[in-house]
Structure 1
Amino acid sequence: MIRAVVFDVGECLVDETREYGTWADWLGVPRHTFAAMFGAVIAQGRDYRETFQEFEPGFDLYEQRQARADAGRPEHFDESDLYPDVRPALTALRSDGLWLGIAGNQTVRAGGILRTLFTDDVDLIGTSDDWDASKPDPAFFERVAEVVPFDNEEILYVGDRLDNDIRPALTAGMRTALIRRGPWATIQWNTEDAVRLPDLRIGSLTELPEQIAALSASER
């Protein structure tokens, strides 16, 4: 029975179109060209950070993120970047009595933005910078398990990536939901693992309450 739902951030709750467009601008690359390379890197099964290397060999994402901040152009997202189904889904899941969390590979700055946006909506917000562990490292999901007050098999982790979200969460003994949006899920959606591995496959977060109820009912 699912008693807790933990959400990834990028392309699960937050539409990252603006942020990746900002990176293209920072690199001086046309946005459509950056997006095309980004998709090619994902389709080849490579780390998305290799996209930056294609345009600027030796590119250090952490150093450049600080350089952007120093230049007055820090990473940023706000209410307008949330997918439109986020607020209704959280409200519905909360009304069903589920414990809710947000946990993803995010910076300290992003964690602060998330806490401002979701002050009263979730029970916990954790980031890779908070925990000094990044997905898909098992240590990240160990931290999730430590902070969620239920057994691992009662936790549903919702994400858009097989590599960072679905596989490591399953290895940790959690249930999983793959949401179809953003470049990773769109590219991977019809692959064997995307069909076989997740407990749930959804096109919108608003599908979660009904699907969670059905999954729990089937296991009673």
Structure 2
Amino acid sequence: MGEPPVFDEQWVQAARYTETDRRPRRRPAGPQPWRAWTPPPPPRPRRMPAAIVIVAVLALVVLASFTLHKSRSTPQQAQPAQAQPTQAQPAQAAPSSAPPPAVPTAPAGQTLSWKSATEMPDGPDPNDPRVFAELKVGTCIAQAANLRTAAVVPCSGPHTDEVDLVRDLTAEFPTTPDNRQIDRLNTTLCPGAVRDWTGGRDGRYSSGYLWQFQNGVPGQAVRGFVCTAQLSGHGPFTGTLHHAAA
């Protein structure tokens, strides 16, 4: 017999595959996943450095202080005041500073045919058509200062007006005349009538008028216009203005 073969350990180590590699591997018991994957943990939040936080807080404090100071130092625009409804107060008449109308006086050396009076007598109302129909040239009338009341009075006592012209309006106006037509009658008739009554043009005397116009049968209804002579201040007097300026 020949000699046993020599076992070359270096050759065995240099082999590409070994017997161990060729042995079948045991599979683990039970099903196993192909791959086991665990998600990575979430990233940790970054913390803001303490220095940045402090700077931000200080900046907010400074900004708030500046805004407050500016609002206090800036003048606010005044809002227009809303008018409050007020109850209207009745107007009170202020005392008049104007002097009362001057009483006409006679020039030196001339005697007047009349004299100023203070009292006003009472009598029939010339606004009554029956009384108005009885008016004639020379009739005397006492009219109140407010021009609301009047009375036919004797010429021997105080009065304010003396009738110097009477005119019938029946033929001239078929219907009631308006204020414009009455003013035209006054302007046309009364200034001349007072001059004829007083005897001349004199600023101490002026004219007035009354009128009535009834609806009714012509000739029976009272329809007339009357001019009067009076003092320029329309004050009461005694005596007469007839030929007072002559």
Q: Pick the TM interval, shorter chain.
A: under 0.3
| Greater RCO (CA < 8 Å, at least 6 residues apart) | 1
Q: Which has the higher helix share?
A: 1
Q: Normalising to structure 2: TM-score of the pair?
A: 0.18
